[in-house]
Amino acid sequence: MGRLYYQVVRVTDFGPYITKLVLAMPRDVKAAELNKDQFSVYVTIRDKKGDVVEMPKSFIERDEFVESKGYRVVTDFYPCDLNGNKTESGRYVALELAYGPTYKCTSAIAADFRNINGHERYTFCDYEITQLKPIGEGNEELTGLVFDKLAGVHNPQRDRFLEDVSDDKEMPLRYGYFVPDLKGDKKPLIIFLHGAGEGGDETAIAYSGNKVTELTEKWVQEKFGGAFVFVPQCPTMWLDDGSGEYGDSGKSIYVEALKSAIDCFIRKFESAIDTDRIYVGGDSNGGFMTMRMIMDYPEFFAAAYPICEAMLDARISDEHIAKMKELPIWFTHAANDPVVPPDKYVLPTYHRLMEAGAKNVHFTYWDKIVDVHEGFKTENGEPFEYMGHFAWIPMLNDDCRVDFDKKPVLVNGKEVTLMDWLALQKR
């Protein structure tokens, strides 16, 4: 008879991964009784229909698709509490698992989400953890344990969010949101607009498909004195202009619906939201929509933070530039972005704003996006380099500190990060 286990999910710089399994043991176990060879971990990943999902073999071998099943590598082990927190002894045992985009840890079996028909989805991960060697001795010896009954999933970052739907009768939008500690003054509102893969009908993906959850962490919240986080989701893509193709028209069928959703959320918390401190930003497809919103409603927002934004500069008129130059904006992009080439998008727009006399517009322009937080390494031991499009990684980690001229951004003579700067902006 199989025993119970729990999955622990962490939203990483590369998306949500099952990074740990927690096993419910038949007795208390001490750290000294455990070793790395005592368990094998096998996973089969299925979609909602129950079919085994096929994925690229790894982030590097993207053209070779394999079934998402196989053995995962255990990197650490220890007694723990129910949530996987390390203890000296206990009724639970944690198995930490290798994860990430590096070659030796294939994305096909480690990630907790998959791209299915163009949109990311959380999947169903069936684990079988088999005991290979005894634990303890004599009357206390444990042998032959199999853990194959999922008792629960711990995803604390995702679970900080609530979900709702806007009240727009023609085009209601789903959204996830975080409510801060409401003590004291009214709180600012941070709006994050998701990328192409996070659209669809699974709202949790919009705010946990990448590290948007970081905006709810204590270190960010303290910068703002507490802040609401609002993450709406569109059913297709923000740059959907209704033509059936997602091109570069610069238009979106979601402009009015998104503004309606924002207004709906503000009404929901009208006594607690400071409407002079509404910040809008997003990545890629969401960066496009950030630009669309500040082009159409430049006086509504206190500041904007477009990331690898996909609004063709050719679609931005001189009239738009004249209005946007008054709005505080901090762009983030990488020079080697293969998806949204900066010379057609952000670079000319930034230069036009500066030539128009913008006083509070900044631009952190990365040469490349390299891992500095997760510890992902190449086979040669070098820090892993992400695709150049992934500029949301340094932004959400608050690594953006320098302007286009590579000099620190200063406010009142003090160096600031993008998050520091954003928290200071007021309409």
Give the count of domains, the chain: 2
Paired residues of 232 in beta bridges: 175
The count of residues in the chain is 427
Boundary-marking domain end, from 97, 124, 154:
154
Same domain, 150 and 13: yes
Same domain, 104 and 223: no
Burial degree of 309 (CB within 10 A; 0-12, 13-18, 19+): buried
Same domain, 13 and 97: yes
Kindly report, residue by residue over 67-118, the tens digit of the pLDDT.
888 899 999 999 999 999 999 999 999 999 998 886 444 555 666 666 655 6
First vs last C-alpha separation in the chain: 62
Boundary-marking domain end, from 154, 172, 204:
154
Same domain, 150 and 168: no
Same domain, 120 and 198: no
Three-state DSSP state, 320:
helix
Same domain, 123 and 169: no
Mean pLDDT, residues 395-416 taken together: 98
Q: What is the CATH number of the domain that holds 367?
A: 3.40.50.1820
Same domain, 357 and 292: yes
Task: Using CA atoms of 34, 35, 38, 42 in order, give the dihedral in degrees to the nearest 10.
Answer: 110
Boundary-marking domain end, from 136, 154, 172:
154
Mean pLDDT, residues 366-383 taken together: 92
Q: Does the pLDDT value for residue 122 go beyond 90?
A: no
pLDDT of residue 247: 78
Mean pLDDT, residues 349-358 taken together: 98
Same domain, 21 and 146: yes
Kindly report, residue by residue over 214-246, the tens digit of the pLDDT.
999 999 999 999 999 999 999 999 999 999 888
Nearest CA among 302, 291, 295, 287 for reference residue 332: 287
**CA gap 103, 93 in Å, rounded:** 28
Same domain, 100 and 114: yes
% of the chain residues with pLDDT over 70: 94
Same domain, 206 and 313: yes
Kindly report, residue by residue over 45-60, the tens digit of the pLDDT.
888 788 888 776 655 5
Residue found by looking up tokens 């992009």 in the block: 333
pLDDT of residue 115: 63
Kindly report, residue by residue over 360-374, the tens digit of the pLDDT.
999 999 999 999 999
Mean pLDDT, residues 58-65 taken together: 63
pLDDT band, very low/low/confident/very high, at 120 (cuts 50, 70, 90): confident
**CA gap 106, 55 in Å, rounded:** 10
Q: Does the pLDDT value for residue 177 go beyond 70?
A: yes
Q: What is the CATH number of the domain that holds 65?
A: 2.60.40.2180
Which tokens is 351 given?
A: 């230069």
Mean pLDDT, residues 269-292 taken together: 98
Domain carrying residue 43: 3-154
Same domain, 180 and 148: no
Same domain, 248 and 310: yes
